[in-house]
C-alpha cells in the first residue's frame, strides 16, 4: 500500500504493541501480588496493576491495532487515502496517543485505580477521564476519516459496490461510534463533574447502564476486525474463495442492529431494572449470536470448498489439506477453534438463570480470556505476522513463520490452562477481581488453590509467548530481509449470490439500530433518572 498510509497504519500498530508489552507485564505482576508471595516496591497494589492490565490490553492494544489494520485494509481495497481522510487519521492518532499516555501515567501513579470498566462508585482523578475523552474523540476522528474516504470513493466510482473489506471497516467504525456515545455521556455528564467536585454524588446505576451500553458493543468492536480477517483474508491464504459477499455483509449488518441494545445482560443481577427489560435485552442477546453462527457456517463452507477443489473426497479430509504450517492461517485458526467453546460460554452467561451462577466469578474472567484474549488476540497476531512486513517492505521469513507457530501454540496452551482453571474455579464460587488477602483463611478458599496454581502456570506460559511475539514483531519490523509480503485479499466464489444494494443502505441500518436502542433503553432509563439520588447530576437535571 501507499507509503504514507503505511506509516499511519504502522504508528497505530506501534502504540498497540508497546501497550501489549506493558499490559502483559502488569498482568504477570498482578498474578504474583495476588498470590500473596510478593510485595512490590512503592506499595504497587493488585488493583492498580489490574487496572493497567485491563486498560492497556482490553482498551488500548485492541483499539490501536484495529485502527492500524483498518487503515491498511482501506488503503489496499479502496486505494490510497485521500488527503483529508489521511490528515484526519493522523490527528486522531495524536489525540489518542496523548490520551493513552496521560491515562497510563495516572494509573501508574495510583490515581486511577478504577479497573478497565471504571464505572461508579470507583472514582479516578479527573485527568483520567480527560485522557479517556482524548482517546474517544481521537477515535471518532478516525471514524470520520474512514467514512469520508468511503464517501469520496463511492461518489468517484458512481456508487459502485464497495470492496468487502472497506464496507466492513465502515460498519465497524459505525458500531464503535454509536457505542461510544454512551461512554461519552457517562464521562462528560457524570464522571468529570463528580471527580472535580462540582456535584456531590453520582448515580451508580446510570453510570453502569451507560457503561454497559458501550461495554457490550465494545466486545464486537474487537471481534469484527477478527471476522474481517476470517471472511476476507483467510480464503486467499488457503487458496480458496470468499463463500458469499452478501452473507458476510449481512452478518455485519446484524452486528450493528443487535450488539448495542443488549447491555443489560451484564446487569442481570442488578436491582433497579425491571425484569421485563432484562428479559427483552436477553432476547436481543440471543439474536446477536446469529451472525456468529452465520460466520461459523461460512468459514466451514470456505474450508470445505477449498479442500474439495484440491481433490479431497472424504467427509472431513479437506481439513488435512488446510495450510497448517502457515502461521498466517494457523494463528487465526486457533482463534476460531477456541471461539467454539468461548461462544458456548457466552451463551451460558446470557442465559438469565445460569448468569446467577457465574456472575462476578472467575468464570467471567475465563470467558473473556477465551474470547478477546484468545480468539481476537490470536487473529490479531496472525494478521501482524504478514501486515508488519507488508508495511515495512520486508518479508515474513520461514524462520519467523516457524517461531510464529511456536508462539501460537504457547498462547493456545497457556490460555487453555489459565482460562480452563478460571472457568472451573468460577463454578466453585471463586470471585473475580478480588485480592488474595480478602479470602485468606476462609475454608472454601483452600479448594481454590490448585486452580490458582494452574492459572499462574498458564499465565507464565502466556508471558513467555508475549516475549516471543515481541521478538518476532521487532524482527519483522526492523531486521527481516527487504522484500515484498502480500496483503491477502480474497475474491468471491464465482457462483455466489450477487450482493443486494440494500446492504449498503446506511440510513436504513443505522435507523433500525437507533430504533432498537430507543425501544430497549428509553423506559428503563427514564425510571433510573426518576430515582436518581439527590445531589447527583441526574437529580439536578430533572
Ligand atoms: Fe461475552 C461478559 C455474553 C461473546 C467479551 N464478554 C463478557 C466480558 C467480556 C466479554 C470482556 O450475557 C466481561 C465484561 C466484564 O468485565 O464484566 N459474550 C456473550 C455472548 C457472546 C459473547 C452471548 N464476549 C463475546 C466476545 C467477546 C466477549 C466475542 C470479546 C471479543 N459475555 C456475555 C455475558 C456476559 C459477558 C452475558 C456478562 C457475564 C456477567 O454476568 O458478568 C456471543 O457473541 C458468542 C457467540 C459465539 C458463537 C461461536 C461461533 C463460533 C465461530 C467459530 C467457528 C469455528 C470454525 C473453525 C469455523 C456462537 C464463529 C473450524 C475448524 C476446522 C478445523 C474446520
Query: What tens digit of pLDDT does each residue of 187-218 get?
Result: 999 999 999 999 888 888 999 999 999 999 99
Q: Residue 430's pLDDT is what?
A: 86
Cell of 64: 490501536
Give the pLDDT mean for 362-371.
Answer: 95
pLDDT score recorded for residue 450: 86
With a 6 Å cutoff on the Cβ, whether 214 touches ligand 1 is no
DSSP string, 386-412: HHHHHHHTB---HHHHHHHHHHHHHHH
Q: Are 480 and 228 in contact (CB under 8 A)?
A: no
pLDDT band at 463 (very low <50, low <70, confident <90, very high): very high
Band of pLDDT at residue 528, cut at 50, 70 and 90: confident
Per-residue pLDDT of 323-361, as tens digits, reads 999 999 999 999 999 999 999 999 999 998 899 999 999
208 pocket-lining for ligand 1 (C-beta < 6 Å): no
Residue 442 Cα to ligand 1 midpoint, Å, equals 32
Torsion sign (Cα): 424, 425, 426, 427: positive
Q: What is the mean pLDDT of residues 506-534?
A: 89
Atom of ligand 1 nearest to the CA of 223: 31
Above 0.90 for ipTM, yes or no? yes
pLDDT level of residue 36 (50, 70, 90 thresholds):
low
Q: Any bridge partners for residue 361, and if so which?
A: 431
pLDDT at 39: 74
Categorise residue 320: left if φ over 0, alpha if ψ from -120 to 50, beta otherwise.
alpha
Right CATH for 3-541 from 2.20.28.10, 1.20.1270.360, 1.20.210.10, 3.40.1350.10: 1.20.210.10
The reported pLDDT for the residue numbered 542 is 42
Give the atom of ligand 1 at the shortest distance from the alpha carbon of 365. Answer: 13
Burial environment of residue 177 by CB neighbours within 10 A (0 to 12, 13 to 18, 19 or more): middle
pLDDT tens by residue, 160-188:
999 999 999 999 999 999 999 999 999 99
Q: What is the mean pLDDT of the chain?
A: 91
368 alpha carbon – ligand 1 mean position (Å): 7
CB–CB of 123/199 below 8 Å?
Answer: no
pLDDT, tens digit, 9 for 90 and up, residues 40-93: 777 788 889 999 999 999 999 999 999 999 999 999 999 999 999 999 999 999
pLDDT at 477 over 50: yes
What pLDDT is recorded for position 201? Answer: 84
The set of residues, in sequence order, having a beta carbon less than 8 Å from that of 495 and lying 6+ positions away, is: none
- For the cut 50, the answer to whether the pLDDT of residue 117 exceeds it is yes
**Which residues, in sequence order, are bridge partners of residue 431?**
361
Nearest atom in ligand 1 to 269's CA: 41
For ligand 1, say whether the CB of 259 is within 6 Å of any of its atoms: no
Q: Stretch 3-10: mean pLDDT, rounded?
A: 94
Average pLDDT over every residue of 412-430: 93
Per residue in 281-297, pLDDT tens? 999 999 999 999 999 99
Residue 478 has pLDDT above 80, yes or no: yes
Closest Cα partner for 343 from 319, 376, 316? 376
- 538 pLDDT higher than 60: no
Q: How much distance in Å is there from the Cα of 220 to the middle of ligand 1?
A: 9
State how far the Cα of 146 lies from the Cα of 93, in Å rounded to an integer: 13
pLDDT at 416: 96
Phi and psi at residue 202, in whole multiples of 5°?
-135, 145
Q: Which residue, among 149, 151, 120, 219, has the nearest Cα to 1 in the 3D structure?
A: 149
Ligand 1: does its nearest atom lie under 6 Å from the Cβ of 278?
A: no
Q: Which residue reads 485527568 in cell numbers?
A: 127
For residue 429, what pLDDT is reported?
85
Average pLDDT of span 299-310: 93
Tell me the torsion sign for CA atoms 337, 342, 346, 351. Answer: positive
What pLDDT is stored for residue 532 in this prediction? 67
Radius of gyration for the chain, computed over Cα atoms and rounded to the nearest angstrom: 23
Annotated catalytic sites, by residue?
A: 216, 220, 367-369, 432-433
Bridge partners of 394?
482
ω before 530 within 30° of 0 (cis)? no
Cα gap 336→374, rounded to integer Å: 9
Amino acid at each position: 500500500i501507499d507509503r504514507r498510509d503505511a506509516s499511519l497504519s504502522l504508528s497505530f500498530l506501534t502504540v498497540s504493541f508497546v501497550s501489549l508489552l506493558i499490559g502483559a507485564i502488569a498482568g504477570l505482576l498482578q498474578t504474583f501480588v495476588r498470590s500473596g508471595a510478593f510485595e512490590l516496591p512503592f506499595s504497587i497494589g493488585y488493583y492498580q496493576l489490574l487496572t493497567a492490565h485491563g486498560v492497556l490490553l482490553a482498551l488500548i492494544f485492541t483499539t490501536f491495532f484495529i485502527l492500524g489494520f483498518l487503515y491498511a485494509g482501506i488503503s489496499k481495497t479502496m486505494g490510497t487515502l485521500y488527503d483529508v481522510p489521511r490528515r484526519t487519521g493522523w490527528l486522531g492518532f495524536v489525540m489518542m496517543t496523548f490520551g493513552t499516555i496521560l491515562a497510563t501515567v495516572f494509573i501508574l501513579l495510583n490515581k486511577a485505580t478504577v479497573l478497565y470498566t471504571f464505572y461508579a462508585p470507583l472514582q479516578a482523578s479527573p485527568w483520567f477521564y480527560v485522557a479517556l475523552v482524548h482517546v474517544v474523540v481521537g477515535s471518532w476522528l478516525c471514524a470520520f476519516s474512514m467514512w469520508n474516504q468511503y464517501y469520496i470513493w463511492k461518489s468517484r466510482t458512481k456508487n459502485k459496490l464497495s470492496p468487502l473489506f472497506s464496507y466492513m471497516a465502515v460498519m465497524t467504525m459505525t458500531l464503535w461510534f454509536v457505542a461510544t456515545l454512551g461512554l461519552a455521556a457517562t464521562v462528560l455528564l457524570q464522571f468529570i463533574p463528580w471527580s472535580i467536585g462540582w456535584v456531590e454524588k453520582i448515580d451508580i446505576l446510570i453510570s453502569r447502564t451507560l457503561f454497559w451500553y458501550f461495554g457490550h458493543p465494545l466486545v464486537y468492536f474487537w471481534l469484527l476486525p477478527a471476522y474481517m480477517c476470517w471472511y476476507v483474508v483467510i480464503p486467499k491464504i488457503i487458496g480458496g474463495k470468499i463463500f458469499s459477499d452478501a452473507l458476510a455483509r449481512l452478518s455485519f449488518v446484524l452486528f450493528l442492529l443487535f450488539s448495542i441494545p443488549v447491555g443489560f445482560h451484564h446487569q442481570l443481577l442488578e436491582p433497579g431494572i425491571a425484569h421485563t427489560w432484562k428479559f427483552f435485552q436477553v432476547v436481543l442477546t440471543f439474536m446477536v449470536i446469529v451472525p456468529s453462527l452465520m460466520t461459523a457456517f461460512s468459514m466451514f463452507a470456505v474450508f470445505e470448498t477449498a479442500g474439495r477443489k484440491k481433490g479431497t473426497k472424504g467427509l472431513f479430509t479437506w481439513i488435512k489439506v488446510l495450510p497448517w504450517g502457515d502461521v498466517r492461517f494457523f494463528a487465526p485458526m486457533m482463534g476460531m477453534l477456541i471461539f467454539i467453546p468461548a461462544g458456548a460460554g457466552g451463551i451460558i452467561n446470557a442465559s438469565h438463570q445460569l448468569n446467577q451462577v457465574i456472575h462476578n466469578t472467575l468464570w467471567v474472567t475465563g470467558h473473556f480470556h477465551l474470547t478477546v484474549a484468545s480468539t481476537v488476540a490470536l487473529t490479531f497476531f496472525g494478521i501482524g505476522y504478514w501486515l508488519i512486513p507488508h508495511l515495512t517492505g520486508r518479508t515474513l521469513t520461514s524462520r519467523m513463520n516457524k517461531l510464529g507457530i511456536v508462539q501460537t501454540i504457547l498462547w493456545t496452551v497457556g490460555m487453555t490452562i489459565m482460562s480452563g482453571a478460571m472457568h472451573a474455579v468460577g463454578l466453585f464460587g471463586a470471585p473475580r477481581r478480588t485480592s488474595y488477602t480478602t479470602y485468606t483463611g476462609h475454608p472454601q478458599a483452600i479448594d481454590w488453590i490448585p486452580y490458582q496454581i494452574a492459572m499462574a502456570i498458564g499465565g507464565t506460559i502466556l508471558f513467555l509467548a508475549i516475549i516471543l511475539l515481541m521478538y518476532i514483531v521487532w524482527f519483522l519490523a526492523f531486521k527481516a530481509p527487504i522484500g515484498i509480503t502480500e496483503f491477502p485479499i480474497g475474491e468471491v466464489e464465482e457462483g455466489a449470490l450477487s450482493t443486494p444494494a440494500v446492504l449498503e443502505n446506511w440510513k436504513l441500518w443505522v435507523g433500525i439500530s437507533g430504533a432498537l436502542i430507543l425501544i430497549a433503553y428509553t423506559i428503563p432509563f427514564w425510571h433510573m433518572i426518576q430515582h436518581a439520588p439527590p445531589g447527583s447530576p441526574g437529580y439536578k437535571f430533572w
